Structure 1
Amino acid sequence: MKKIKMSALSIWMMGALTSVVFMTSCKSKDYKDADATTDSLQAQMRADSITRQEAVKVDSLSNANTPVVSNLPGTAKPNPAKRRGKGSIIYQVDKDYETRYNRIPIQVNNEGIYSRAEVRPSFPGGEKALAKFIQDNIVYPENAIEEGVEGRVEVMFAVDENGRVYTPVVTGDRAGYGLDEEATRVVSKMPTWNPGQIKGRNVKSYYTLPITFQINP
């Protein structure tokens, strides 16, 4: 009788031990599966992050010479008195521009572009040639003419050491009605400029052009 009880107890203990081993094994497997899932998710997140970074780089490079496009509203307002009038483009730097330009502190950003140069960048042929290029190549947006919209757009861009014009952006308030996009489009297609200089050396530097859209009724 004692032998039978001992056998039963042994069987019960073996069964309990087997259950513990089985549960531990399952739990270990669950942890491994969970770790594997976590590792997989982390790997996917890292891959997605790299993909997004590369996409930004590619997009930045592909759009380096394209005009800024935005649907944000602007400050220009329709003028019923000038609706469907004759649009004209005016480029004229005021007499104080040179003074204001020279007051800009010379600083360089992390892309190696100077805020201004000692000798500022210039369009080949001078200001008159620049005004003619703008007038010959810009198109007054049709919807702006339809609504009698006028406005002034200031486009800032960089000129590199070789005179290449790039990264045109609108500074200050947007005019809206397509005026900003048209101004930056024309700047982005400009020919090679004379680069700015510091201590006699060609450098990358910023420059700003004011372009005025005007309608004659």
Structure 2
Amino acid sequence: MKAKRNSIFRVAAVAMLCSASSLITSCNSDTHSDNADTTLTDTMNTMNVDSVMADTVNAAGLNPASKPAKKGVAMVSEPIPEETGEIKLDKDKVYNYAEVPPVFPGGQSALDDYIKDNIKYPSSAMESGIEGKVSVQFIVDENGHVYGTKVLSKPLGYGIEEEAMKVVNNMPQWTPGKVKGKSVKTYRVLPISFTLQ
């Protein structure tokens, strides 16, 4: 049974490796920011992940002499934006969708590289065979600074959520999103998949 499950994960990982990554934003809602968590959760529940990027992640703390080391793979993608019509400018609002979305410095490929270079698959999670996706929500403010991080997905434990949030909290300054030509605060959701091979 375990061998069959490992084979399925390897086939899924190979299929995902063949995809290209894309930058996607969550859809806008005209509701107040009080309802933003519900809107983002609903968006995450119905999102269509178009493609993913995968790379092997460092697995510090394993002793290869005592047992074969497993490889951890981190994949990143974001939900696709939906057409929402005209967006009204409100300087105090945190937008779910901006006319011009925030951009990681260097674009999507630089974000992929940042995740690849900075995510460390927790050794306790690898040793326990823990896999899954962590969806981290954060806000990019008018100056491009990242704050307000929180995990939207069901907890996997073993330090996986903490690692994902640490990497998001340490991201460099983004180019902020814009509405009507003005920089605005914008929610972003970054799903990061942790897969063993």
Shorter-chain TM-score tier: 0.5 to 0.7
2:71 corresponds to which residue?
86
1:126 corresponds to which residue?
107
Deviations 1:102-146 (A, max 9, x none): 459968999632222121111111111101101101111111000
How is 1:41-190 mapped onto 2 (pairs within 5 angstroms)? 84-93=69-78, 97-100=79-82, 102-103=83-84, 112-190=93-171
Distance 1:144 1:105 in 2: 45
Larger radius of gyration between Structure 1 and Structure 2: 1
- How large is the RMSD of aligned CA atoms in angstroms? 2.6
Amino acid at match of 1:132: D
> Which segment is superposed worse, 166-175 or 143-152?
166-175
Distance 1:212 1:108 in 2: 34
Preserved CA contact (<8 Å) 1:90 1:211 = yes
Preserved CA contact (<8 Å) 2:89 2:179 = no
Report how far residue 173 of structure 1 moved: 1.7
Identity %: 45
Please give the TM-score of this superposition, normalised by the length of structure 2: 0.59
1:71 corresponds to which residue?
none
The 3 A distance-change label for structure 1 pair 109 and 210 is farther
Report how far residue 176 of structure 1 moved: 1.9
Report how far residue 205 of structure 1 moved: 1.1
Greater share of helix: 1
The 3 A distance-change label for structure 1 pair 173 and 107 is farther
The 3 A distance-change label for structure 1 pair 105 and 208 is farther
2:193 corresponds to which residue?
212
The 3 A distance-change label for structure 1 pair 111 and 181 is farther
Count of equivalent residues: 130
Amino acid at match of 2:187: Y
Deviations 1:121-180 (A, max 9, x none): 111111111011011011111110001111101100000111001111001322222111
The 3 A distance-change label for structure 1 pair 109 and 209 is farther
Following superposition, which runs of at least 4 residues in structure 1 exceed 3 angstroms of deviation?
102-112
Unpaired segments of 5 or more residues in structure 2? 1-67
